[in-house]
Amino acid sequence: MINKTLGIIGGTGWLGGAIARAVLAKGLVPAGNLIISNRSGNHPLAEQGARLVTDNQGLVDRSDVVIIAVRPEHFASLGIDATGKIVISLMAGITAQMIAAQTSASAIVRAMPNAAVEIGQSFTPWYCSAGVGTATKNLVQRVFECVGAAAEVQQEDFIDYLSALSGTGPAFPALLMTALARQAMLAGIPGDIAQMAAKNVVVNSSQLLANRDPQQMIDALVAYRGVTAAALQVMSQGDFEEQVGRALQAGAAVARKGLQA
Ligand SMILES: NC(=O)c1ccc[n+]([C@@H]2O[C@H](COP(=O)([O-])OP(=O)(O)OC[C@H]3O[C@@H](n4cnc5c(N)ncnc54)[C@H](OP(=O)(O)O)[C@@H]3O)[C@@H](O)[C@H]2O)c1
């Protein structure tokens, strides 16, 4: 448990709400030390003991650590003064410099969780601006370990790149699952069977990779020189990896350009 008050602006949204629930469930902060805000002023989280407010400046004033979990286009209108506070931003495409300019916070951290915060399975890379001390770094790591794995990165640009990679969470698997199911149906496999087969590949069979090296897995399966080898060979001849690279660069370019309204 940490002896700090944590405020989450946008603490009832997808990411903010999941982090709020997780820090309470893991006992990182007691409910009395958690303040969340939104514009609408109501949410079931308030029934779990967290204070729900609509006054963002009031939240900042009462918090030691402020997580900004609103969408990037809502950041400019927050108008908060966080002088002397630690601010952790989850917003894609908003630089540490912009956050410093608009909030006057003394310590700024940019973190990029993904939608799997909801099931405690996010990977959250985070970057902190110069001058952030070890105690604050430990605290940031502990907050994000409540919703999965987390690691500090040394360059802010890595956050923009990783926004397009781990930040997209289930997006790439969803695309693969959809493609597998559609192609199977086009080949005449009944829809329900196609969906079950595609789901098994993406959601269930992939669990084998949790503790195995993926390249070794590919090599082992290709070594059979059978069905899997033929399928994977077509994928790699078809520019698959370069296409993945272009997709990641396209997403990163949007993050680098900035998403502020
Ligand atoms: N979702 C993802 O997979 C993902 C991945 C990586 C990073 N991110 C980043 O995480 C941030 C949050 O995304 P999300 O998907 O969690 O968004 P979301 O579900 O739309 O949540 C945004 C929250 O902000 C609240 N809000 C909006 N304006 C506010 C204001 N002026 N004051 C206080 N609260 C306000 C909203 O509640 P009211 O409408 O009631 O005000 C809502 O609870 C974004 O900046 C995004 O770039 C998201």
Beta carbon of 69 within 6 Å of any ligand 1 atom: yes
- Amino acid in the structure at residue 148: G
Nearest CA to ligand 1 atom 34: 38
- The pLDDT of residue 260 is 65
- The pLDDT of residue 126 is 98
Whether 1 maps to a domain, the answer reads no
- The pLDDT of residue 43 is 80
Whether 163 maps to a domain, the answer reads no
**Same domain, residue pair 26 and 151:** yes
Tally of structural domains, the chain: 2
**Same domain, residue pair 17 and 125:** yes
Pairing mode, strands 122-128 and 148-152: parallel
Ligand 1 atom at minimal distance to the Cα of residue 18:
16
- The pLDDT of residue 46 is 76
Task: Please identify every stretch of the chain with a pLDDT value under 50, giving residue numbers as ranges.
Answer: none
Cα–Cα nearest to 127, from 88, 99, 94: 88
**Same domain, residue pair 85 and 143:** yes
Beta carbon of 114 within 6 Å of any ligand 1 atom: yes
Tell me the CA–centroid distance for residue 150 and ligand 1, in Å. 20
Cβ neighbours, 10 Å, residue 82: 27
Tell me how far apart the alpha carbons of residues 108 and 80 are, in angstroms, rounded to a whole number. Answer: 14
Domain that holds residue 76: 6-158
Whether 143 maps to a domain, the answer reads yes
- The pLDDT of residue 259 is 74
Ligand 1 atom at minimal distance to the Cα of residue 16:
16
- Report the CATH number that the domain containing residue 250 is assigned in CATH: 1.10.3730.10
Beta carbon of 91 within 6 Å of any ligand 1 atom: yes
Tell me the CA–centroid distance for residue 17 and ligand 1, in Å. 9
Q: Region of 232 please: left (phi>0), alpha (psi -120 to 50) or beta.
A: alpha
Among 8, 70, 257, 259, residue to substitute to test ligand 1 (most atoms within 8 Å of Cβ): 70
Cβ neighbours, 10 Å, residue 259: 15
Number of H helices, E strands in the chain: 10, 8
- Amino acid in the structure at residue 10: G
Beta carbon of 20 within 6 Å of any ligand 1 atom: no
Q: Which residues contact 60 (CB under 8 A, 6 or more apart)?
A: 7, 9, 66, 80, 81, 82, 85
Indicate the annotated binding residues for NADP(+).
Answer: 9-15, 69-72
